[in-house]
Amino acid sequence: MQLVIFLTKNSIKMIEINKVPSPCFVMEEELLRNNLSLIKSVKDRAGVNIILAFKAYAMWKSFPIIREYIPCSTASSVYEAQLAYEEMGSLAHTFTPAYTSENFPLFMRYSSHITFNSLSQFDRFYPETLKHSHKVSCGLRINPEYSTVETDLYNPATPGSRLGVSLDQLGDKLPEGLEGLHFHTLCESSSYDLEKTLEVIEQKFGHLLSQVKWFNMGGGHLMTRKDYDVEHLIGLLQSFKAKHPNLEIIMEPGSAFAWQTGVLVSTVVDIVENRGIKTAILDVSFACHMPDCLEMPYKPHIRGAYHEPVQGLPTYRMGGSSCLSGDFVGEWSFDEPLLIGDKIIFEDMIHYTIVKTTMFNGISHPAIALWNKSNQLEIYREFSYEDYKTRMS
């Protein structure tokens, strides 16, 4: 019997499962365009600049699609900045915790904006920007010491954070040459979280906002999530702009671009049982390919499975293919027992997955593909032993 999967939940499009290499990240162009349309609408209606954060999504073969809606991006490393220049076709808005004398010239080459994490970094490198061939606008990251993010791993405002300058380190006047301020304290957050954050920032840093030309609100704005209040966001941004007409407002979400745009297709290669717990061993690894599932942690949705165990139904952990003992997540229930060779399709696996994958244990990296608007599977990349070997030495 020919096996098919629905690659879009709310459409009739289907693709033969045997045409998808396993494992494989598959993004759908239609879903990506839906997100891009919403993001561009917010950008235009609110009168702000929204750019793509590569740290969440850097599938550069899809950049021609993204450039139809959003032309700029943000970078946190030299490689990301070079990718912005070469594949997005624009200079990057750059921030990294610390620049060095070796990499700063490269950052300048590929950046239009450079944000510094400390006053000492600004003092050290600002003179270099004045010598550069194109104008580089300099900013400073501030730390409001407030965040609604509950997971410390993703919270840059925890006590003692290494990220950003707190109010007690700043006076009433910013150093000459600083043209922008930047904060990033959100993570998959709502517009109401942003509203609370802006209230704190205005209380603490409001006296400095009139001294700069741009204000970067960082990432974490999950405006493409179904329950996100887009109208509230637009009103909030318009109100902030009205109070600070001197400022260009910049936002740099990452997850919002790729949110629920694709899946990770995997295959059951074995089923083991230990003391009544059944584990489906897959040809993917949580540690290597879905690290946020272990780091956050969170339990991803599996297409066709019950997200929580159902008494009386076949129930399984999902086990990764590495030898890490903790490379598993569970449990899910299914209407029928799983068999070796069955496909397991993890939902929403495009953002913060491909950018964080590793080849730990020599595990094969999933292929990367696009289900395009012509209803064809376009393989962007497949990986081989040589990819692993050349990374090791």
- Mark the binding-site residues for substrate, compressed into ranges: 292
Asked if residue 155 lies in contact with residue 147, where contact means CB atoms within 8 angstroms, the answer is: yes
What residues does 29 pair with on adjacent strands? none
Binding positions are 292
Q: Distance (Å, rounded) from C-alpha 143 to C-alpha 124?
A: 20
Distance, in Å, from the CA atom of 344 to the CA atom of 69, rounded to the nearest integer, reads 33
Beta strand ranges found along the chain (DSSP E): 4-6, 14-16, 24-28, 49-50, 52-53, 73-75, 92-95, 111-116, 137-141, 178-182, 214-216, 248-251, 262-274, 277-282, 315-319, 328-333, 343-347, 367-371, 377-381
Tokens of 372: 């395009």
Map residue 52 onto helix, strand or coil: strand
63 three-state secondary structure: helix
CA pair distance 106, 80, nearest whole angstrom: 11
Cα separation, 247 vs 201, in Å, equals 15
Instruction: Tell me which residue has tokens 């624009």.
Output: 90
CA angle 293, 18, 34 (to 5 degrees): 55
| Contacts (Cβ under 8 Å, ≥6 apart) of 344 | 265, 266, 267, 268, 280, 282, 302, 318
Q: Hey, what amino acid is at 366?
A: P
